[in-house]
Amino acid sequence: MHIGQQIAQYLLSGLSTGAIYALIGVGFAIIHNATGIINFAQGEFVMLGGMFTVFFLTVLNLPLLVSVILAIAAATIVGVAFERLAIRPMKNASPISLVIITIGGSILIRGIAMLVWGKDTHAIETFSGNEPIQLGEATILPQHLWIFAVTTVVIICSKLYFNYTISGKAMRACAYNSRAAGLVGIDVRRMVLFSFAISSAMGSMAGIIIAPLTMTSYDVGVMLGLKGFCAAIIGGMSSGLGTVFGGVILGILESLGAGIFSSGYKDAIAFIILLIILFIRPQGLFAKGDTERV
């Protein structure tokens, strides 16, 4: 196996992990853009998606499609409940308090999942078999195609939503200036709730489509959440292509780092790149500069 073949595989592997990070990152960006909150519990929705699917599939013996739909619904309900119970009452809280609240929320959700479902790792059958697909010099699995497809669809939908629907535009207005948005008659609280619903649904979707590859357990959310956060930051907190590029860059860096440099330090390499990006372009690679307002 010569080096060219290897690099092709690294790139493809990076692309597929990157797509996962992107999907999670978009969830971060949506909540951040609508509310200014960094939701550290975002990773937990990824976990909930996978774990609910396992639960519906194996405990209730429902068919896959039904389980997936129910799992997304259940995770969304958790997301909405979290917003209503913990975020909404904190209307005038400082950003630091909100960070702590969402960290507390993530610990709580993870803890409950651990008590209810135990600490075991669970596997889900892949959606369309395990036969590797040869792509030039490299291989991927059918499940990866699902990941690419879902990520693409989600990004397109979010683009359409934010640019062409009333409520999408309203949410962007909230992001730009929530007081002004309130003054022109937008129900800001509803928009915030809505953003939590969308991003928890997205997170759970990510959790479901990756579960057949990566398996799932009560604590998968932590690392995936962090990586998604990185993707969103690199992408300049955009809910569209920026974060997708962010995720893919991160995924490829990790994969090349592990393959060519040192697998032990691959996460460190990814984070060093992240720091360098932040130092050089604090507003993210794909965002336009912004003058600070007084």
Partner 1 sequence: MLKKSSFILTFVVSLAILAGSALAAPPIKIGGLFAVTGPASFLGEPERNTAQMVVNEINAAGGVKGRKLELIAYDTQGDATKAVQAANRLIKEDKVVAIIGPSTTGDTMAVIPVVEKAKIPMISCAAGSKITEPVKKWIFKTAQNDGLAVARIYGDLKRKNISKVAILTVSDGFGSSGREQLKAQARAYGIQIVSDDTYGPKDTDMTAQLTKIKGSGAQAVICWGTNPGPAVVSRNAKQLGLKLPLYMSHGVSSKKFIGLAGDAAEGILLPSGRVIVADLLSNSDRQKKSLLAFVKDYQKHYKAEGDHFGGHAWDAIMLLKGAIERGGDNPAAIRDQLERTRGFAGIGGVFSYSPSDHAGLTKDAFVLVEIRKQDFALVK
Partner 2 sequence: MTKSRSFLKHEMVKFILFTILILFLPLAFKGGYLLNVFVFVGIHTLLAVALNLLLGYAGQISLGHAAFFGLGAYASGILTATHGQNPWLAMAVVAAAVGTLAFIIGFPILKLKGHYLAMATLGFGIIVYIAFNEAVELTGGPSGFSGIPNLSLGGVSFDTDFKNYYLIWGMTLVTILLSLNLVNSRIGRGLRAIHDSEVAARVMGVNVRFLKVQIFALSAVISSIAGSLYAHTMTFVSPTSFGFNFSVELVTMVIIGGLGSIYGSFLGAALLTLLPEILRAFQDYDIVVYGLLLIFMTMFMPGGLVRGIPALVGRIVMRSGAGSKADA
Closer residue to partner 1, CB minimum distance, 197 or 222: 222
Closer residue to partner 2, CB minimum distance, 38 or 154: 38
Instruction: Show Cβ contacts of residue 268 under 8 Å, excluding neighbours closer than 6 positions.
Output: none
Residue type, 150: V
Q: Which of 63, 136, 264, 289 binds partner 2 (CB under 8 A)?
A: 264
Asked if 42 contacts 24 with a C-beta cutoff of 8 angstroms, the reply is yes
Cα separation of 139 and 273, whole Å?
Answer: 27
- The site partner of 163 among partner 1, partner 2, none (C-beta below 5 to 8 Å per kind) is none
Q: Sketch the per residue contact string, 243 through 262, with partner 2: x for CB under 8 A, - otherwise.
A: -------------------x
CB of 253 to partner 2, least distance (A): 13
CB of 146 to partner 1, least distance (A): 14
Closer residue to partner 1, CB minimum distance, 148 or 161: 148
Q: Which residue's entry shows tokens 């194996």? A: 58
When asked if residue 78 is in the footprint of partner 2 (CB under 8 A), the reply is no
Nearest C-alpha neighbor of 254 from the set 264, 239, 245, 243: 264
Cα separation of 291 and 294, whole Å?
Answer: 10
Nearest C-alpha neighbor of 143 from the set 133, 155, 156, 152: 133
Cβ count near 110 (within 10 Å):
20
Question: For residues 167-226, which are near partner 2 according to CB under 8 A?
Answer: 226
When asked if residue 90 is in the footprint of partner 2 (CB under 8 A), the reply is yes
- The site partner of 145 among partner 2, partner 1, none (C-beta below 5 to 8 Å per kind) is none
Asked if 93 contacts 101 with a C-beta cutoff of 8 angstroms, the reply is yes
Residues in contact with partner 1 by the rule CB under 8 A: 1-3, 5-6, 9-10, 13-14, 16-17, 20, 114, 119-123, 130, 132, 139-141, 210, 213-215, 217, 219-220, 222-224, 254-256, 258-260, 263-264, 266-267
Please give, one letter per residue, the 3-state secondary structure of 107-128: HHHHHHHHHHHCCCCECCCCCC
Q: Site residues (CB under 8 A) for partner 2?
A: 32, 38, 86, 89-90, 93, 95-97, 99-101, 103-112, 114-115, 226, 229-230, 233, 262, 264-265, 267-268, 271-272, 274-275, 278-279, 282, 294
